[in-house]
Amino acid sequence: MIEGLNAGRYDIVPCAIWPTSARAKYAAFSHPMFFSGVSAYVRVGDHRFDDSLDALNNPAIKIATIDGEMAAAIASSDFPKAQQVALPQLPGISTMLLNVKDGKADATFVEKYFAEEFLKNNPGSLRRVGDNVVRVFPNTILVKLGDDELLGFLNTAIEEINNLGVIRSLLKKYEPSPGTFLPLALPYQQVGAH
Rg (CA), the chain: 19
Residue 177: pLDDT band with limits 50, 70, 90:
confident
Residue 191: pLDDT above 80? Answer: no
pLDDT at 91: 75
- Tell me the one-letter amino acid at 121: N
Cα 48 from chain centroid (whole Å): 24
Mean pLDDT of 134-161: 95
pLDDT mean over 82-93: 89
pLDDT at position 179: 85
- Residue 23 sits at φ, ψ, to 5 deg, of -70, -30
State the pTM of this model: 0.83
pLDDT at position 154, please?
Answer: 97
More confident of the two residues 22 and 53 = 53
Q: CA 183 to CA 186: how far, in whole Å?
A: 9
User: What ranges do the domains of the chain cover?
Assistant: 2-35+136-174, 37-134
User: What is the reported pLDDT for 189?
Assistant: 67
pLDDT category of residue 65 using cuts at 50, 70 and 90: very high
How far is 85 from 108, CA to CA, in rounded Å? 10
Res. 85 pLDDT band, cuts 50 70 90: very high
pLDDT confidence tier of residue 186, bands split at 50, 70 and 90: confident
Least Cα distance to 10 among 23, 27, 25 occurs for: 27
Angstrom distance (rounded) from CA 114 to CA 96: 11
DSSP 104: S
Q: Please state the CATH superfamily assignment of the domain spanning residues 2-35+136-174 in this structure.
A: Periplasmic binding protein-like II (3.40.190.10)
Q: Is 62 a residue whose pLDDT tops 80?
A: yes
193 pLDDT higher than 70: no
pLDDT band at 60 (very low <50, low <70, confident <90, very high): very high
pLDDT at position 190 over 80: no
Looking at domain 37-134, its CATH architecture is 3-Layer(aba) Sandwich (3.40)
Given a cut of 80, whether residue 8 has pLDDT beyond it is yes
C-alpha 16/C-alpha 49 separation (Å) is 30
Query: What is the Cα–Cα distance from 188 to 155, expressed in whole angstroms?
Result: 18
